[in-house]
Amino acid sequence: MASDFEVKNRIKSQDSRIVLFEKQEELLAILDKKWAKEAHMRNQEYLKNS
């Protein structure tokens, strides 16, 4: 779902993972806020280390 959203809402001048990660975190928050927070921390590390 998040990847479909990213493709449809891609920003050419921005790392495509940012939109993907934001949507992923939004969807996870619906299920469990803790999962969203964990994903956010992991995603920030991915972006920082690239």
In tens digits, the chain (50 residues) has pLDDT values of: 889 998 998 989 999 999 999 999 999 999 999 999 999 999 999 999 98
Distance, in Å, from the CA atom of 40 to the CA atom of 37, rounded to the nearest integer, reads 5
The residue segments making up the domain with residue 25 are 2-48
The whole-model pTM stands at 0.82
The whole-number pLDDT of residue 2 equals 87
Q: How far is CA 40 from CA 12, 15, 24, in A?
A: 22, 16, 9
CA dist 10 and 34 (Å) reads 27
Number of domains in the chain: 1
pLDDT of residue 50: 82
Any idea what DSSP says for residue 15? Answer: -
